[in-house]
Amino acid sequence: MRKLLLESFTGAPLTERPPDVDDGAVAELARALDRAARRRLGRSLTIRQVDAGSCNGCELEIHALNNAFYDVERFGIRFVASPRHADVLLVTGPVTKNMREALDRTHRATPDPKWVVAVGDCAVDGGVFAGSYAVVGGVSAVVPVDLHIPGCPPSPTALLKGLLALLETSASGGSNRSTKA
Ligand code: SF4
């Protein structure tokens, strides 16, 4: 026991090193996203995240956008609690049968203009859960998807790049166009 305690006090931490992310590049990306939102919507972007059956790996990366490291709220990009306040639905996971109706109702509760972004490989086509008896499939099996951001999970930087591409290229008022970031 004493040896174990000594090792834990003197040994190197067992956690992984944080990723090498260029803080300036992240800030510029978030600023560009805020500018695009103001051009498109006349105000900052609001996002409602929907976990439609994810393993929560994608959520960890999405949550990172709000941590002290990325802190995208300083650029006006906000996660909101209600779809009625959202411009973008950020949907993760294969859509489980239990979440199909909730996702559909959330989509209908979101006012136009709105965009749906399918985040992660599972949200694209079911990913590792494809074919499961509990899964409907990718997000587009339930609601129209405007953008797919692949990855398992995609990084916070990939999420910002995807949202920026969406606002810069999509038609005003939302669209049913499906693209990959
Ligand atoms: S894409 Fe990967 S991290 Fe995201 S929900 Fe699927 S298995 Fe989890």
Q: Which of 51, 91, 121, 155 is the best mutation target for the ligand 1 pocket, counting ligand atoms within 8 Å of the beta carbon and taking the most? A: 121
153 in contact with ligand 1, CB cutoff 6 A: yes
**Predicted confidence band at 177 (pLDDT cuts at 50, 70, 90)?**
very low
Q: Which has the higher per-residue pLDDT, 5 or 50?
A: 50
pLDDT at 129: 93
pLDDT at 172: 47
The string of pLDDT tens digits covering residues 79-120 is 999 999 999 999 999 999 999 999 999 999 999 989 999 999
d(CA 133, CA 53): 13
The distance from CA 50 to its chain's CA centroid, rounded to whole angstroms, is 9
Q: What is the mean pLDDT of the chain?
A: 87
d(CA 135, CA 152): 18
pLDDT at 92: 97
Cis peptide before 153 (omega within 30 of 0): yes
Q: Is the pLDDT of residue 175 over 60?
A: no
Residue nearest atom 2 in ligand 1 by C-alpha distance: 152
The pTM is what?
0.83
Output the CA 116–ligand 1 centroid distance in Å: 17
